[in-house]
């Protein structure tokens, strides 16, 4: 089975990796891969992943990767979080999507929410699917807001402890107050039964259910002004940076959000290559002259192209996040602004990675042979999962590239 360049380049440790390190978590994720693959049909029917898998992730500390050390978290780098997300997605892209989008919003809380909220929310493992497309309505009431509405596509909802939801806010007289992000505890929302099984083409295990809130009272400290896309760092940075003195909590959200999604696509591409790798040694060519695929020039060209595409995609993704991190460190050292345009330009790099990973899956599917495309086969599932990603607004390449160009020439940052 082929390993990524990043895994191949890492030297084997003399001793087992310490708990709470990225090497330990990567090792756990790799060992989970056979179990995730064996349970793919079960997880698709569930619409998420099983309690057995959830408990293993919970016990190993996966949900605490981005929680600050100050509140008992591991405070790993964003790059390390993505590396682990790729590995989980290699076992099942839908499970990877559910995990990443559920665990990833701990970073938003650490970046933007006040000390009181962080102390409360990070008292345990925070699993908080989010929806930043404004829905519902929040009305100012005393020292908080009364929130109601339904938010669709809240990926990671199955094992959620909270939800991060964006809504327009109003006074009790109906005057608009702008958008706010709200953190709602599990007991205050209903997860609708509208995901999993045959309801959707792909990413069936992503627990992307809708969430309904009915007149929940959200206290002031669990809501913040929603300006995550284009806030100005200035001299002091975010409230998260001020608390933790770590520039990963400067909260530039565009690149990181896209990285989360694209990590699942790179995992899917590795998974498809794993299937193709097995077929290379087990099956003859699909066309004459018939021979072992490992003797066929065509199959070697296809395999080599896929491998190059996936290695390049992973290099682009992790390199973009490394550059993202350095831009934060530069602000910390020099005060030079890490701008929303810097963030949006990195998204362009990340989407190039997505295109390469998607092309690799397309090539694997189209050249593996018709038997590999049968309903219920692993290759068919990975192809469906990638097809589902392509329906996401983040995968509308021309839309996002156009938004970047318009922002560069002075128009609002629309996406």
The DSSP bridge partners found for residue 139 are: 146, 170
Residue 271 CB partners (closer than 8 Å, separation 6+)? 37, 89, 90, 91, 92, 93, 378, 382
Q: What pLDDT sits at residue 371?
A: 87
pLDDT tens per residue across span 40-76: 999 999 999 999 999 999 999 999 999 999 999 999 9
- The Cα 40–Cα 202 span in angstroms is 12
Confidence (pLDDT) at 8: 64
Q: Confirm if 400 and 394 have CB atoms less than 8 A apart.
A: yes
Same domain for 137 and 106?
no
Pick from 64-73, 245-254, 285-294: least confident: 285-294
Kindly tell me if the per-residue pLDDT of 1 is higher than 90: no
Residue 413, in any domain of the structure: no
- With pLDDT > 90 as the criterion, what percentage of the chain qualifies? 92
Q: Are residues 275 and 349 in the same domain?
A: yes
Measure the CA–CA gap between 314 and 233, rounded to whole angstroms: 29
* Same domain? 383 vs 255: yes
Note whether 199 and 338 are same-domain residues.
Answer: no
Give tens-digit pLDDT for 323-379.
999 999 999 999 999 999 999 999 999 999 999 999 999 999 999 999 888 999 999
**Mean pLDDT across the chain:** 95
Place of tokens 């978290």: 73
93 and 157 part of one domain? no
Residue with the two structure tokens 């790059």 = 79
Mean pLDDT of 158-180: 97
Q: Assess whether 101 and 43 both reside in one domain.
A: yes
Closest CA relative to residue 257, chosen from 111, 100, 41, 119: 100
- Domain ends where: 121, 150, 168? 121
Q: 15 pLDDT band (50/70/90 cuts)?
A: low
Q: Is 289 exposed, middle or buried (0-12, 13-18, 19+ CB in 10 A)?
A: exposed
Domain end residue (candidates: 121, 144, 173): 121
Residue 239 belongs to a domain: no
Q: Which two tokens stand for residue 30?
A: 């790799």
Q: What angle do CA 348, 352, 355 make, to 5 degrees?
A: 135
User: What number of other Cβ atoms are within 10 A of residue 56's Cβ?
Assistant: 17
Please indicate, yes or no, whether residues 34 and 101 belong to a single structural domain of this protein.
Answer: yes
Q: What are phi and psi of 129, to 5 degrees?
A: -60, 155
Q: Is 253 a residue whose pLDDT tops 90?
A: yes
Specify whether 109 is located in the same domain as 149. no
Q: Judge if 106 and 75 occupy the same domain.
A: yes
Answer yes or no: do 163 and 307 share one domain: no
Tokens of 353: 């990675």
Whole-angstrom distance, CA of residue 48 vs CA of residue 215: 27
Name the band, by pLDDT with cuts 50, 70 and 90, for residue 5: confident
Last residue of a domain, which of 121, 145, 171? 121
In the predicted model, is pLDDT for residue 10 greater than 80? Answer: no
What's the CATH number where 213 sits?
2.40.110.10
Dihedral angle of Cα 265, 271, 276, 281, to the nearest 10 degrees: 160
Of 223, 219, 197, 186, nearest to 102 by C-alpha is: 186
Q: Which domain holds residue 366?
A: 247-408
Q: Please, is 415 exposed, middle or buried when counting C-beta atoms within 10 Å of its C-beta (0-12, 13-18, 19+)? A: middle
Task: With respect to residue 242, please indicate whether it lies within any of the assigned structural domains.
Answer: no
pLDDT for res 11: 47
Angle subtended at Cα 41 by Cα 38 and Cα 44, rounded to the nearest 5 degrees: 125
Distance CA 389, CA 264 (A): 9
The tokens of 323 are what?
């550059």
Residue 240 belongs to some domain of the structure: no
User: How far lies 6's CA from each of 26, 264, 276, 312, 333, in Å?
Assistant: 12, 16, 20, 11, 29
State how many domains the chain has.
3
Strands 144-151 and 176-185: unpaired
**Pair (392, 253) in one structural domain:** yes
Position 6 confidence tier, pLDDT thresholds 50, 70, 90: confident
* Number of alpha helices (DSSP H) and beta strands (DSSP E) in the chain: 14, 8
pTM: 0.96
Position with higher pLDDT, 367 vs 16 = 367
- Predicted confidence (pLDDT) per residue in 136-148, tens digit: 999 999 999 999 9
Both 253 and 399 in one domain: the answer is: yes
């Amino acid at each position: 089975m082929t390993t990524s360049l990043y895994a191949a380049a890492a030297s084997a440790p003399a001793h087992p990796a310490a708990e709470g390190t990225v090497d330990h978590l990567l090792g756990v994720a790799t060992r989970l891969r056979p179990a995730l693959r064996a349970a793919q049909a079960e997880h698709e029917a569930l619409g998420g992943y099983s309690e057995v898998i959830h408990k293993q992730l919970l016990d190993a500390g996966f949900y605490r990767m981005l929680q600050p050390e100050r509140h008992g978290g591991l405070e790993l780098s964003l790059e390390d979080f993505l590396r682990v997300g790729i590995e989980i997605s290699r076992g099942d892209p839908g499970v990877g999507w559910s995990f990443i989008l559920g665990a990833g919003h701990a970073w938003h809380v650490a970046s933007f929410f006040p000390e009181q909220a962080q102390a409360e929310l990070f008292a345990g493992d925070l699993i908080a699917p989010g929806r930043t497309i404004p829905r519902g309505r929040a009305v100012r009431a005393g020292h908080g807001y009364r929130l109601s509405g339904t938010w669709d596509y809240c990926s990671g909802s199955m094992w959620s402890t909270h939800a991060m939801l964006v809504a327009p806010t109003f006074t009790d007289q109906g005057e608009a107050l702008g958008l706010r992000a709200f953190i709602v505890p599990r007991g205050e929302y209903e997860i609708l039964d509208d995901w999993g099984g045959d309801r959707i083409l792909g990413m069936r295990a992503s627990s992307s259910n809708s969430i309904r809130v009915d007149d929940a009272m959200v206290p002031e400290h669990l809501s913040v002004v929603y300006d995550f896309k284009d806030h100005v760092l200035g001299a002091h940075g975010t409230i998260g940076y001020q608390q933790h003195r770590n520039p990963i909590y400067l909260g530039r959200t565009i690149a990181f959000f896209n990285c989360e999604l694209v990590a699942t696509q790179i995992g899917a591409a590795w998974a498809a290559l794993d299937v193709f790798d097995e077929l290379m040694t087990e099956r003859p060519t699909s066309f004459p002259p018939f021979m072992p695929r490992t003797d066929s020039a065509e199959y070697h060209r296809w395999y080599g192209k896929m491998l190059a595409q996936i290695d390049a995609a992973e290099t682009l993704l992790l390199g973009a996040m490394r550059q993202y991190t350095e831009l934060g460190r530069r602000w910390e050292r020099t005060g030079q602004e890490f701008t929303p345009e810097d963030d949006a330009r990195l998204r362009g790099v990340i989407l190039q990675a997505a295109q390469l990973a998607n092309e690799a899956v397309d090539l694997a599917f189209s050249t593996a042979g018709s038997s590999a495309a049968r309903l219920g086969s692993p290759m068919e599932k990975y192809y469906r999962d990638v097809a589902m990603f392509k329906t996401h607004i983040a995968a509308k390449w021309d839309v996002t590239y156009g938004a970047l160009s318009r922002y560069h020439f002075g128009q609002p940052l629309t996406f």
